[in-house]
Structure 1
Amino acid sequence: MTSLSDLSTLADVAALAATLPEADPAAREAADARQMSLTKPPRALGRLEDLAVFMAGWQKTDRPSITQAQALVFAGNHGICARGVNPFPQEVTAQMVANFRSGGAAINQLCRASGADLDVVELDLDTPTADFTARPAMTEDEVLKAMKIGAAAVPATTSVLVLGEMGIGNSTVAAALAAGAFGGAAVDWVGRGTGSDAAGKALKAQVIEDGRKLHADAAGLALLMAYGGREQAAICGAVIEARARRIPVILDGYICTAAVAPLFAQDKRFLDHCIVGHQSAEPGHARLLDAMEKAPVLTLDMALGEGSGAALALGVLRAALECHNGMATFAEAQVSGG
């Protein structure tokens, strides 16, 4: 398969969808057969069984495992903040990056609890993207550069990839990407973000509508050019690289899921190896999950970002594999009924 690093246009990236590896049906069938032989009623472990079979398909084995889990948090700044959509200053992005690196954020604790390595990747924080109500947030070259940075951050040795983001103003970008990918009024997609009140939400919706007038023809991967940001493009690049390496991906909440909406809008096969860690308290996330036909692993009324919900879901995924690999079969346990 052609590497993302070799590509020079978004049209080239779009063409990758037809070349990406798929889940192995034989491994899935074998893993499902094992689930039916374990000492439990069929389907008694519910979603845990589905997660084990999902992992089996991508690892091409009926006994999937997690030897290394990698969390990546991508950080970027946004020109749309010039419109006043953010209640906190953009300096907070760099300050939170420093907090991640010093181990003081929620994602640090959750990665430690779930057994994931954490890397933080900042993308040109001193150069925000453009205000998307005035012109495209990024050029095609800028989108490709960010995607390639995201792809290069994925370790070849990882068993599962946990993705998150940080960027003041990016809840507005997320709502714009969702609206651009799936339609509807901007007000249907905006939420509180990092603390917007009713007036702030109304402003975000108006700003998005202003941008949509300018970028009415944007579709698929071109949505990344129209609305940004760099961390969203990097997430897309990481997702594609993970797929090329058959690495399953756990997406975080609303902003992270909206980041890959351009991939889904371009070709939904891009996200076959992705699960969504949790359903955010942001009101647009449930709508987005329905549009993408993705069921969250957890629903805990969280809206932090950082990859926090995805890191929690990693613990559930580990538990699913422990049951799948460690439980006895009816024959092994000499229990009647298998």
Structure 2
Amino acid sequence: MQAPFTTLAEFRDLLTQMPAPDADATAGATDRNSQLTKPPGALGRLEDLAVWYAGWRADPRPRVAAPQVVIFAGNHGVCAQGVSAFPAEVTAQMVANFEHGGAAINQLSKAAGARMDVHALSLDTPTADFTQAPAMTEAEVVSALQTGWEAVDPQADLLVTGEMGIGNTTVAAALAAALFGGTGADWAGRGTGVDDAGLARKIAAVDAGLALHDIADPLSALRCLGGREIAAMVGAMAAARVLRIPVILDGFICSAAAGVLRRLHPDALDHMVAGHLSVEGAHQRLLDALGKVPLLSLGLRLGEGSGAALAISILKAAVDCHSGMATFSEAGVSDT
């Protein structure tokens, strides 16, 4: 689906016209849930997930049949500050691994029955070092948003966005601080495993970026501090909303991308659930800021969309129970 915007102002305007869940489907799903052969509330949060999904798909008895996992990759100029345990060349190497089916996200997507796509964004041209200059021009961030928007398959019925980009936990920490307040020490974690000196460099880089740029506006924060893959995730999440495709959020970096939309519009994340809680230190704080409770907490810190892809099976199970179970009348079971 071609992106219907060519400027940040046009993208911002789109977010004021976002669809809401279908009220009739939500009501129908709620009514069906009350008649299923189980005690009220016995399936706990699975019941809420099924009704939520039904509303966004405008179907009181839906199925999850065509999930899509989209991985975006980008490189970051802030790596010049020594913020990562790995060199930037690893980004391209991991993209090749994705394309050849060798990464964890390939296996998790396959296990969930999800189509997986990979989009590398100008890996040979990293964003600018945000401690020295804005990470992207408006044209660059708009291009990344468009890539994300156009990557979403309109026939998908569930979306996971993942990322790959050496240095992007630093970028996500800076973006989270700009969006929700605080300093580098509040948001920067060890990412891929930096030592104490590396963590100190990450904190210093975040604080330098916050001090240098005008970050009051969420899209300005994305342009000045973000990365192409993070902007692409923002674009994909927004496109999913227009298409009424529910989204499962991944970890810290993906949640920082969602934070841009949350700050632009208070209801912008209503079509999203949090797939998991990462062990990246500030992820819980970020989920709290987004108002999201994770489905899983398994000690993951891989990125790539891995935790969200794993959570596809949870959502599928919720929807299958809702749509596949018999009602009391269908089963001939007394409900009194």
Q: What secondary structure is seen at the aligned counterpart in 1 of 2:174?
A: helix
| Mapping for residues 84-233 of structure 1, pairs under 5 Å | 84-233=82-231
Distance in 1, matches of 2:289 and 2:169, equals: 18
Q: What secondary structure is seen at the aligned counterpart in 2 of 1:278?
A: coil
Paired amino acid for 2:45: R
* Structure 2: unaligned runs, 5 residues or longer: none
| Mapping for residues 17-36 of structure 1, pairs under 5 Å | 17-36=15-34
2:63 aligns with one of 53, 61, 65: 65
| Mapping for residues 260-299 of structure 1, pairs under 5 Å | 260-299=258-297
Question: Is the Cα–Cα contact under 8 Å of residues 4 and 13 in structure 1 kept in the other structure?
Answer: no
Question: Is the Cα–Cα contact under 8 Å of residues 276 and 294 in structure 1 kept in the other structure?
Answer: yes
Distance in 1, matches of 2:56 and 2:116, equals: 22
Partner residue of 1:256?
254
Q: What secondary structure is seen at the aligned counterpart in 2 of 1:66?
A: coil
Q: 1:20 Cα deviation (Å)?
A: 1.2
Question: Is the Cα–Cα contact under 8 Å of residues 220 and 264 in structure 1 kept in the other structure?
Answer: no
Distance in 1, matches of 2:8 and 2:330, equals: 53
Percent same amino acid at aligned positions? Answer: 56
| CA shift digits 1:87-138 (9 cap, x unpaired) | 1000000000011111111001101111101111000000000000111000
Normalization by structure 1: what TM-score? 0.97
Distance in 1, matches of 2:253 and 2:3, equals: 25
Q: What secondary structure is seen at the aligned counterpart in 2 of 1:200?
A: helix
Q: 1:272 Cα deviation (Å)?
A: 1.4
| CA shift digits 1:262-300 (9 cap, x unpaired) | 111111322211111111111111000101101111111
Stretch of structure 1 that moved more, 164-173 or 6-15: 6-15
Stretch of structure 1 that moved more, 219-228 or 205-214: 219-228
Label 1:217 to 1:224 Cα distance change in 2 as closer, same or farther (>3 A).
Answer: closer
Partner residue of 1:246?
244
| CA shift digits 1:2-26 (9 cap, x unpaired) | x872323212211112211111122
Distance in 1, matches of 2:58 and 2:4, equals: 27
Distance in 2, matches of 1:197 and 1:27, equals: 51
Paired amino acid for 2:78: I
Q: 1:260 Cα deviation (Å)?
A: 2.0
Stretch of structure 1 that moved more, 171-180 or 256-265: 256-265
| CA shift digits 1:48-87 (9 cap, x unpaired) | 1111111111111101112211100000000000111011
The size of the alignment, in residue pairs, is: 336
Paired amino acid for 1:185: T
Distance in 2, matches of 1:117 and 1:8, equals: 28
2:324 aligns with one of 303, 323, 326: 326
Q: 1:216 Cα deviation (Å)?
A: 4.1
Stretch of structure 1 that moved more, 271-280 or 3-12: 3-12
Q: What secondary structure is seen at the aligned counterpart in 2 of 1:121?
A: strand
Distance in 1, matches of 2:27 and 2:290, equals: 25
Distance in 2, matches of 1:184 and 1:81, equals: 22
Distance in 2, matches of 1:308 and 1:25, equals: 32
Question: Is the Cα–Cα contact under 8 Å of residues 222 and 262 in structure 1 kept in the other structure?
Answer: no
Distance in 1, matches of 2:179 and 2:98, equals: 31
Q: What secondary structure is seen at the aligned counterpart in 1 of 2:83?
A: coil
Paired amino acid for 1:196: V
Q: What secondary structure is seen at the aligned counterpart in 1 of 2:159?
A: strand
Partner residue of 2:303?
305
Paired amino acid for 2:207: E
Question: Is the Cα–Cα contact under 8 Å of residues 17 and 269 in structure 1 kept in the other structure?
Answer: no
Distance in 2, matches of 1:71 and 1:225, equals: 25
Distance in 2, matches of 1:257 and 1:245, equals: 20
RMSD: 1.2
Q: What secondary structure is seen at the aligned counterpart in 1 of 2:62?
A: coil
